[in-house]
């Protein structure tokens, strides 16, 4: 985490509201930020590995060790702004997902809403994808879309896209951990076989996937 942690909160609240068999084991931030405060309020273990305190290689090592302490089934980059080396992604690719505020492969990197407006796009949105180098690449799990309005500016568009992020990110996390989507031949595809712990979760009925953009 690097900021407010609004996507983190949406994941925690959604999992708890629908009683999905998911537990957020920990939140790791690269600096002191609002996200760790929010995690504390939600009763979630949290830790700061400040990137300013270490050289890049040492930072990645300490971050990796902190992740191993938690031992998660899935690593979720929910507003983590530190740039990591490709080896880090390579080691953890199969269990790491990120959300990005554009319809990838369009507009990787920063200032996506401004760039979408400058490019006269008519549709914009957000993408959840597996993480690998280069930045904001990797197989796309799902996308959420909206129409750009004539009076939109980067700020108003960002607010609307964030609402989409809060909808699709919990869905994607649930889909991956439940086995609803699986990575096959470097592509996320829908599976009809849920993992054992999810059969009692009524997953299909608890969230609508019809507009989520999963591959089939």
Q: Which of 113, 117, 115, 134 is nearest to 125 (CA)?
A: 113
Q: Which two tokens stand for residue 167?
A: 């909808």
Q: Are 180 and 207 in contact (CB under 8 A)?
A: no
Active site residue 100: yes
Q: Are 96 and 115 in contact (CB under 8 A)?
A: no
Helices (H) and strands (E) in the chain, counts: 7, 8
Q: Are 126 and 143 in contact (CB under 8 A)?
A: yes
Instruction: List all residues 6 or more positions away from 90 whose beta carbon is below 8 Å from its beta carbon.
Output: 132, 133
Backbone angles phi, psi at 57, to 5 degrees: -65, -40
Q: Are 164 and 144 in contact (CB under 8 A)?
A: yes
Which one of 90, 94, 100, 124 is the catalytic residue? 100
Which residue spans within 39-167 are E strands per DSSP? Answer: 46-48, 75-77, 96-100, 123-130, 140-147
Q: Are 21 and 180 in contact (CB under 8 A)?
A: no
Q: Which residues are catalytically annotated? A: 100
């Amino acid at each position: 985490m690097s900021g407010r942690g609004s996507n983190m909160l949406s994941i925690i609240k959604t999992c708890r509201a629908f009683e999905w068999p998911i537990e957020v084991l920990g939140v790791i931030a690269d600096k002191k930020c609002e996200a760790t405060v929010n995690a504390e309020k939600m009763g979630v273990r949290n830790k700061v590995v400040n990137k300013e305190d270490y050289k890049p290689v040492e930072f990645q090592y300490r971050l990796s060790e902190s992740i191993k302490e938690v031992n998660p089934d899935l690593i979720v980059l929910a507003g983590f702004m530190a740039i990591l080396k490709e080896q880090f992604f390579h080691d953890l690719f199969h269990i790491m997902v990120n959300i990005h505020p554009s319809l990838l492969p369009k507009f990787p990197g920063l200032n996506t809403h401004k760039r979408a407006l400058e490019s006269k796009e008519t549709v914009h949105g957000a993408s959840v994808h597996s993480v690998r180098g280069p930045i904001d690449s990797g197989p796309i799990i799902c996308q959420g879309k909206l129409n750009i309005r004539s009076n939109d500016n980067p700020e108003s568009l960002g607010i609307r896209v964030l609402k989409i992020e809060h909808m699709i990110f919990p869905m994607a996390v649930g889909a991956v951990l439940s086995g609803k989507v699986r990575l096959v031949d470097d592509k996320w595809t829908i599976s009809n076989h849920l993992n054992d712990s999810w059969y009692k979760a009524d997953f299909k009925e608890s969230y609508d996937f019809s507009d989520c953009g999963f591959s089939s």
